[in-house]
């Protein structure tokens, strides 16, 4: 949980630049003007304020459409609001000091860019394990420190992100809906569903 001395990071700004329609007064012109809109992103408090999400943009499919100008609405994201099936979800995520993340997996490829602070990526080790009643039986999770400017590429595996420092951490998440997560084994292929484990 956030300590009283750690300052919450300022809300990020989103700048949207869009092509304007060629107007009837544009006779003889062959390129459109550009509209630029700037706005401070709203904040969404999660898990009692230990996480703050600022949604940047969504696309229901890739490639996306750049038609139109004006407002850029956000699509609803199912489940925990992380992965948009077949699409793209981009958001800032601020993580309070001394916050331990929940181990989970989504049907997505995630690019998590650390912008401020040091983030801890927690994963199971390289040995297979079981999950029974929402609890994993792996012996010791692996913790990887990720510093400012580094990027984590999460390929549909079990993970948690935490902040073990005394300052807020900010990351930018670019989440692309993926094909179902699959692994091969002795008995054939196994599909790995979305899951959130009990801490």
State the CATH number of the domain containing residue 120.
Answer: 2.60.120.10
Give the total number of structural domains in the chain.
Answer: 1
pLDDT band of 134, cuts 50, 70, 90: confident
**CA 128 to mean position of chain CA atoms:** 26
CA end-to-end span of the chain, whole Å?
A: 15
Residue 4 lies in a domain: no
Residue 163 lies in a domain: yes
4, pLDDT greater than 60:
no
Residue 3 lies in a domain: no
Q: Which of 104, 117, 116 is nearest to 175 (CA)?
A: 104
Which domain, by its residues, includes 19?
13-196
46, pLDDT greater than 70:
yes
Residue 118 lies in a domain: yes
185, pLDDT greater than 90:
no
Residue 2 lies in a domain: no
Residue 5 lies in a domain: no
Place of tokens 């000091």: 97
Residue 76 lies in a domain: yes
HSE of 26, CA atoms in CB hemisphere, 13 A: 9
What gap in Å lies between CA 10 and CA 16, rounded to an integer?
Answer: 19
């Amino acid at each position: 949980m956030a300590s009283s001395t750690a300052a919450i990071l300022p809300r990020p700004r989103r700048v949207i630049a869009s092509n304007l329609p060629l107007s009837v007064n544009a006779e003889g012109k062959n390129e459109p003007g550009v509209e630029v809109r700037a706005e401070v992103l709203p904040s969404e408090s999660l898990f009692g304020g230990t996480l703050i999400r600022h949604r940047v943009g969504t696309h229901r499919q890739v490639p996306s459409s750049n038609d139109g100008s004006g407002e850029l609405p956000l699509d609803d994201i199912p489940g925990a609001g992380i992965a948009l099936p077949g699409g793209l979800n981009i958001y800032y995520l601020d993580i309070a000091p001394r916050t331990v993340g929940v181990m989970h997996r989504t049907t997505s490829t995630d690019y998590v860019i650390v912008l401020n602070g040091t983030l801890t990526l927690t994963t199971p080790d390289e040995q297979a394990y079981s999950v029974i009643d929402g609890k994993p039986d792996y012996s010791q999770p692996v913790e990887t420190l990720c510093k400012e400017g580094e990027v984590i590429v999460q390929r549909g595996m079990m993970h948690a992100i935490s902040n073990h420092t005394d300052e807020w951490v900010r990351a930018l998440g670019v989440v692309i809906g993926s094909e179902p997560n699959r692994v091969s084994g002795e008995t054939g292929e196994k599909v790995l569903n979305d899951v959130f484990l009990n801490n």
